[in-house]
């Protein structure tokens, strides 16, 4: 038995190390490229550690892009997107778990079925709607479709967490005269903080990295997000050889807010996974 458990532990550790390497190696390669001088970018065979560390690439990358403006635009899009997604999904999850109405489960399945529609399929109708509402090159046009696309998954995530909160707490509150608003605000929300923070962080990262919708809805440079700013660094022609070391340095600068956010809220991811599960 001990030998079997030890073998299983070694196997799991090996799988975990392999998974970690699959995640870390691309990041380490980006970091290595960002620290290489120009004459080491196309060496063959390539090497991970540069012969000379070119720290000035980060300063050059900062001056290549208008990072303060692009960061501001990204925050103006991602923060409202994450906040309103959590609000709408929490209210919808409450309705699907705490309110009894006809065809509730069928409606929830129909609700989830929209997750099967790829984003590229939704681009054209979303663009037409945003254009007809005169919201091109506006924060509202960048935010609202992303909220709509995130609602099905967000509702599913928070619904699963709400199902783990005992309904006896609701019944006790109703005996004391509490209504739906009070139960939602005082019982479900405080107990579902890990799930809400997890959803907010996930939506924040997804919105921060969104490029395809920004390419569709934004054409004015003053509204560019950080992803659009990075896209402009590669140049409009195949004849142009982009400065890959500066591009990688700019990429690392652009992910700093996401990295810091994840460091602060990673414990909520673990709590959400441990406490929610898949419930019927």
pLDDT surpasses 50 at 132: yes
Q: Flag whether 262 is in a domain.
A: yes
Tokens of 98: 């705490």
Q: Closest Cα to residue 60, out of 258, 248, 256?
A: 248
Residue 42 per-residue DSSP state: T
- What six digits make up the tokens of 224? 């560019």
- Give the CA-trace dihedral at 91, 97, 98, 100, to 10 degrees: 110
DSSP one-letter code for 117: S
pLDDT for the residue numbered 259: 83
| pTM, entire model | 0.81
Is the confidence at residue 96, as pLDDT, over 80?
yes
Domain range for residue 103? 65-234+255-276
Q: Is residue 241 part of a domain?
A: no
Mean pLDDT score, 21-26: 83
Is residue 227 included in any domain, yes or no?
yes
What mean pLDDT do residues 49-66 have? 82
**Number of domains forming the structure of the chain:** 1
Query: Range with the lowest mean pLDDT among 7-16, 99-108, 198-207, 230-239?
Result: 230-239
Average pLDDT over residues 242-261: 84
Tens digit of pLDDT for each residue in 167-179?
888 778 888 777 8
| Cα(261)–Cα(84) distance, integer angstroms | 18
Sign of CA dihedral 64, 67, 73, 74: positive
Mean pLDDT of the chain, nearest integer: 83
Which of 233 and 11 is assigned the larger pLDDT?
11
Instruction: Locate the DSSP E strands across 179-224.
Output: none
| pLDDT given at position 280 | 43
- Rounded (5°) CA angle 126-128-131: 105
157 within domain boundaries: yes
Give, as one character, the DSSP assignment of residue 115: G
In a domain, 120, yes or no: yes
| Span of 19-23, 173-177, 195-199, 218-222 with lowest mean pLDDT | 173-177
Position 238 scores a pLDDT of: 46
Residue 3 lies in a domain: no
For residue 221, being part of any structural domain is answered with: yes
Residue 145: CATH number of its domain: 1.10.3720.10
Q: Which residues contact 67 (CB under 8 A, 6 or more apart)?
A: 226, 229, 253
pLDDT band at 75 (very low <50, low <70, confident <90, very high): very high
Does residue 149 fall inside a structural domain? yes
Query: Is residue 158 within 8 Å of residue 199, measured between CB atoms?
Result: yes
Q: What is residue 77's predicted lDDT score, i.e. its pLDDT?
A: 94
């Amino acid at each position: 038995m001990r030998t079997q458990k030890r073998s299983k532990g070694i196997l799991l550790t090996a799988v975990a190390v392999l998974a970690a390497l699959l995640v870390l190696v691309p990041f380490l390669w980006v970091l290595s490229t960002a620290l290489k001088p120009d004459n080491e970018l196309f060496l063959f065979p390539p090497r991970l550690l540069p012969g000379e560390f070119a720290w000035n690439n980060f300063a050059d990358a900062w001056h290549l892009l208008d990072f303060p403006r692009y960061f501001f635009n990204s925050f103006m899009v991602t923060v409202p997107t994450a906040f309103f997604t959590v609000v709408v999904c929490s209210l919808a999850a409450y309705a699907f778990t705490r309110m009894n109405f006809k065809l509730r489960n069928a409606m929830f399945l129909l609700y989830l079925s929209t997750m099967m529609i790829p984003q590229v399929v939704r681009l054209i109708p979303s663009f037409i709607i945003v254009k007809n509402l005169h919201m091109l090159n506006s924060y509202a046009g960048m935010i609202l479709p992303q909220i709509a696309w995130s609602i099905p998954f967000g509702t599913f995530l928070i619904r699963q967490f709400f199902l783990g909160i005992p309904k006896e707490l609701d019944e006790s509150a109703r005996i004391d005269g509490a209504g739906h608003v009070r139960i939602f605000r005082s019982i479900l929300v405080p107990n579902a903080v890990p799930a809400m923070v997890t959803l907010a962080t996930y939506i924040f990262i997804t919105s921060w990295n969104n490029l395809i919708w920004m390419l569709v809805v934004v054409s004015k440079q003053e509204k560019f997000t950080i992803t659009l700013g990075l896209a402009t660094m590669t140049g409009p022609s195949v004849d142009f050889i982009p400065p890959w070391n500066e591009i990688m340095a700019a990429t690392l600068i652009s992910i700093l807010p996401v990295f810091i956010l994840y460091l602060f809220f990673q414990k909520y991811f673990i709590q959400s996974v441990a406490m929610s599960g898949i419930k019927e």
